[in-house]
Structure 1
Amino acid sequence: MNDKLTKDMSVGALVADDFNRAKVFDRLGIDYCCHGSETLESACAKQNLNPDDVLASIETTAPEGGRAPEFAEWPLDLLVDYVLKKHHRNFHLHHEELLNLVKKVESVHGERHPELHEVRKLVEGSFEELDSHFAKEEQVLFPQFYEMYNAREEGREPAPFHCGSVAYPIRQMMLEHDTTGDTWMHITEITENFTTPTDGCASYRLMNHELYKFFENLKEHIALENNLIFPGFIRMEQE
């Protein structure tokens, strides 16, 4: 962990160094997920926050609900395992069920809450994009990551990669992350931070709870790739 924190550090690097800081940034409205390359000073300026106060907060605030894993200490292959077996698997197992819940709430409450029509369209479109995105990672990029990691461990050259450098597909994945993050920030705004209206039923509350959980997991997923996994394999390729 980096002991010397400064406002010139990127918010993504601050979270990558200690994922417990993510909850502080979430509370303050600082986007460490898809705009993680911004410096803390720049991100604070957008939210009218004092960066020195934010630094003090992330250094002193105790983590809620237990400490986050020390992802920065994990080997790269374990990070890829984690993304595949937690985040990708969770999406494949549950996204259709969540979309069906959104459609159910839309059908019951859409007349009184027309914003639900846009929520459903955004969620449905995002899930289609994520399904394609994950397929590219699972079938192309991540197998090459494992090959690179294993080759280094075995002291050999990795097999040739048909894309040439991993930097090319990584750049595309990060652009898709930006699109996904913007979509879910828009969903957050439309739902007023996943708040259920007073006339909302139990299914409405459940939908907002599940959408909130999905976005929280998505932010961790994207932050791991953007700030630890992708930079790590780019460095490995350049060694």
Structure 2
Amino acid sequence: MNATIENILNVTLLEPRQKHPTIFVRFDELNEGESLIIHNDHDPKPLYYQLIGERGNIFSWEYLEEGPEWWKVKISKRNLGEKEETLGEIAVKDLRKAEVFKKYGIDFCCGGKKTVKEACAEKGLDVTKIEQELKLADKSLTSRPIPYTEWSLDFLCDYIVNTHHSYVKQSLPDLVTYATKVEGVHSPQHPELHKIKSLVDEINAELTAHMMKEEIVLFPYIKELVSAKKNEQVLHASHFGTVQNPINMMEMEHEIVGKNLEEIRRLSNNYTLPADSCASYSLLYKMLDEFENDLHLHIHLENNILFPKAVELEQN
């Protein structure tokens, strides 16, 4: 009980000029893995940024209570050997948290190697708010997430082809058709449709060639890797060297398509329909929105699960 009391600091009892210095002293006294809970009568968010600036990324910050009378924050000192998770790693562990990333336009698939703090800094987002929503996602009541990480890599390859490649192949012709049609009718009033049509054409060309390379070269090689390990056979050398080489190319192409879709979302003001839009205009934006959402999961499965596991399998 005494240890718990010692780790609670009511800063409202301190003189204003003593608040932050006292918190810093108490934080510095913490051992790795220990926590300090501060009580305040307003949001102590400025303290978060001061801690980051003066101590670095060596702590976690969790709101236990957020007003209106009390703000209680648990500040925990990280273990020095503890590596901060990336966006991709967070999404791999619990895909529900990807909904938080999507809500704020944070790229967890192509940009999955960044940390939450890095992504928020780039987009000017409130990192404390997003980290709190990620913690709340743990408590959300949803159906059991699909166990992508538990699947064998050969099964995951087939799933990606049969689910996501199939969807892309079915959707691209319609996207090109409606982008062309809407541009032809509405571009005099909405010139951004010229660029949207051009970006859709680029996405069509890029993904068509991209999926072919995956289905003919990369995925069959990953399946051979799985089979060789399972049957304790020697894998024949590939013409591209290690699996990391085609993976590097696939990830680069993912980023190109991801940036094109991000630009379409910006040009369309998050797919907001103008007052003079028609049914085709509405359908185009609806299809683009759905296509982008599917592609986020599609790329997440490859960049954050399939590819790292294939590299690890080949090396072991």
TM-score (norm 2): 0.70
Kept after mapping to 1: 8 A contact 2:164/2:294: yes
Secondary structure of 2:106's aligned partner: coil
Q: Are 1:42 and 2:42 matched, yes or no? A: no
- What amino acid sits opposite 2:110 in the alignment? C
Find the partner of 1:28 among 104, 113, 135. Answer: 104
In structure 1, C-alpha distance between the alignment counterparts of 2:207 and 2:108, rounded to whole Å: 20
In structure 1, C-alpha distance between the alignment counterparts of 2:217 and 2:117, rounded to whole Å: 37
Structure number with higher strand proportion:
2
Aligned to 2:189: 112
Kept after mapping to 1: 8 A contact 2:175/2:200: no
Aligned to 1:3: none
Kept after mapping to 2: 8 A contact 1:20/1:67: no
Larger Rg: 2
In structure 1, C-alpha distance between the alignment counterparts of 2:222 and 2:211, rounded to whole Å: 14
Find the partner of 1:10 among 86, 99, 107. Answer: 86
> 1:80-108 deviations in whole A, cap 9, x for unaligned?
11110111111222311221011111111
Q: Are 1:173 and 2:250 matched, yes or no? A: yes
Q: Are 1:143 and 2:226 matched, yes or no? A: no
RMSD after superposition: 2.0
Find the partner of 1:90 among 155, 167, 175. Answer: 167
Aligned to 1:53: 129
> Per the alignment, do residues 157 and 52 of structure 1 end up closer, same or farther by CA in structure 2, a change over 3 Å counting?
farther
Kept after mapping to 2: 8 A contact 1:103/1:120: yes
Aligned to 1:74: 151
Find the partner of 2:205 among 113, 124, 128. Answer: 128
* Residue range with higher mean Cα deviation, 37-46 or 155-164: 155-164
Question: What displacement does 1:76 show?
Answer: 1.6
* Unaligned ranges ≥5, structure 2: 1-59, 62-83
> Per the alignment, do residues 67 and 134 of structure 1 end up closer, same or farther by CA in structure 2, a change over 3 Å counting?
same
Question: What displacement does 1:180 show?
Answer: 1.2
Structure number with higher helix proportion:
1
Aligned to 1:156: 233
What count of residue pairs does the alignment treat as equivalent? 235
Secondary structure of 2:273's aligned partner: coil
Kept after mapping to 1: 8 A contact 2:243/2:311: yes
**Larger RCO (alpha carbons 8 Å, 6+ apart):** 1
